[in-house]
Amino acid sequence: MESKGVVIDIKEKGINVNEIKIRLYKETACAHCDSCSHETKFAREYTLTSDRQVKLGDTITLEVSGHTIIKSSLILYAFPVILLFFGYYVGAQLLKFSENQSIAMSFIFLIVSFLFIFIYDRVFQKKNENDDIKIIAIERQ
């Protein structure tokens, strides 16, 4: 998946390594239209570390690998549903709970899955973020 954005800030982080702050364009059909105000064209800001030389105002094209998107989608969407059913199974079959207690157990497992996703995003994913996102093109201004 590719996304485009504009460089809004550059901070030196080391020798030939910069922390680049990018304001990403919206991915909708009207993102590059001039009918709306300039601020509504942008979706959010993103910061990444790169050794590529960029200047303020450059338009950058970022690429996220398909593997990363599929892995993230499975963790975000499939994992909670799997734990929801697994929680019901644990309550009903292994612990021999009643129907209502098994349903409550499934929601407890669902909440645990959300906590896991939150911790995964904050701790593990932030460390690997720069490996998953690559600058593939720079358009000079």
User: What digits encode the pLDDT tens for the residues 101-118?
Assistant: 999 999 999 999 999 999
- The average confidence (pLDDT) of the chain is 88
Same domain, 80 and 58: no
**Is residue 64 scored above 90 in pLDDT?**
no
Instruction: State which H helix or E strand residue 71 sits in.
Output: helix 66-73
Q: Specify whether 81 is located in the same domain as 115.
A: yes
Section 26-39 average pLDDT: 62
Contacts 24+ apart (CB under 8 A), 56-59: 56/7, 56/8, 56/9, 56/10, 57/6, 57/7, 57/141, 58/6, 58/7, 58/138, 58/139, 58/140, 58/141, 59/4, 59/5, 59/6, 59/7, 59/138, 59/139, 59/141
User: Is the same domain home to 70 and 121?
Assistant: yes
pTM metric for this prediction = 0.71
For residue 53, how far is the Cα from the chain centroid? 24
Q: How many domains does the chain have?
A: 2
User: What is the spatial distance between Cα 123 and Cα 127, in angstroms, rounded to a whole number?
Assistant: 7
> Are residues 48 and 94 both part of a single domain?
no
Tokens standing for 99? 């129907």
Asked if 51 and 13 sit in the same domain, the reply is: yes
